[in-house]
């Protein structure tokens, strides 16, 4: 009876494998196709803040951070950018941006194309008792250790974060219309 049971378990295992193999291979194929495009190096990206003030909610204002591929080949980004505020001396002020809980996926950017992430800036007065003026933002593309900086006067907290970064999304972010 034991060997009959073993044959039954083996047959069931083979049947399950036959059903799951195409699904597993399809998923692996999709990852391989996405993996065929290299990660976007910071040096091949122009990082900039989208025009105009993004939409707002109670206590937060949203801005699209744009990542334009200025290289000659498609590249991909996955995840959340690193964002922090910097002072006149070039040093970081406050904590780096926290990440929103929104789902994300790999974004492939063709040469000349753009992807974006929403940056929420919380009202510092709701987070700390005294604000500190920052002169700009430092942005690390997802998975990169080199940042780009740009001027953007903003008031932040010295020991807490008022910045919240969303995940990378395809296309240019449209102020007031792009969902977080």
- Give the model confidence (pLDDT) of 5-39 as tens digits: 444 444 434 444 444 333 333 333 333 344 579 99
Share the mean pLDDT of the chain. 80
Backbone angles phi, psi at 64, to 5 degrees: -80, 130
Cα→Cα distances 67→105, 121, 173, 176, Å: 15, 19, 10, 18
pLDDT of the residue at 122: 92
Is pLDDT of 128 > 60? Answer: yes
C-alpha 72, offset from chain centre: 22
pLDDT digits (tens, 9 = 90+) for 130-166: 999 999 999 999 999 999 999 999 999 999 999 999 9
Closest CA to 40 of 113, 103, 138, 96: 113
Cα→Cα distances 25→17, 30, 73, Å: 11, 9, 27
C-beta separation of 173 from 111 below 8 A: no
Percent of the chain scoring above 70 in pLDDT: 72
- pTM attached to this predicted model: 0.75
pLDDT digits (tens, 9 = 90+) for 64-121: 999 999 999 999 999 999 999 999 888 999 999 999 876 678 999 999 999 999 999 9
């Amino acid at each position: 009876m034991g060997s009959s049971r073993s044959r039954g378990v083996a047959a069931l295992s083979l049947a399950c494998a036959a059903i799951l193999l195409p699904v597993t291979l399809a998923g692996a194929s999709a990852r391989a196709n996405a993996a065929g495009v290299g990660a976007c190096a910071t040096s091949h990206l122009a990082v900039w803040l989208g025009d105009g003030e993004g939409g707002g909610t109670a206590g937060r204002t949203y801005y699209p951070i744009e990542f334009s591929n200025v290289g000659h080949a498609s590249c991909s980004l996955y995840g959340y950018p690193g964002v922090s505020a910097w002072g006149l001396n070039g040093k970081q002020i406050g904590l780096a941006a926290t990440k929103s809980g929104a789902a994300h996926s790999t974004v492939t950017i063709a040469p000349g194309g753009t992807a974006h992430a929403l940056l929420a800036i919380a009202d510092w007065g709701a987070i700390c008792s005294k604000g500190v003026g920052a002169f700009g933002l430092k942005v690390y593309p997802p998975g990169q250790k080199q940042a780009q900086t740009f001027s953007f006067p903003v008031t932040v907290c010295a020991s807490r974060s008022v910045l919240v970064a969303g995940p990378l999304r395809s296309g240019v972010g449209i102020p007031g219309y792009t969902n977080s």
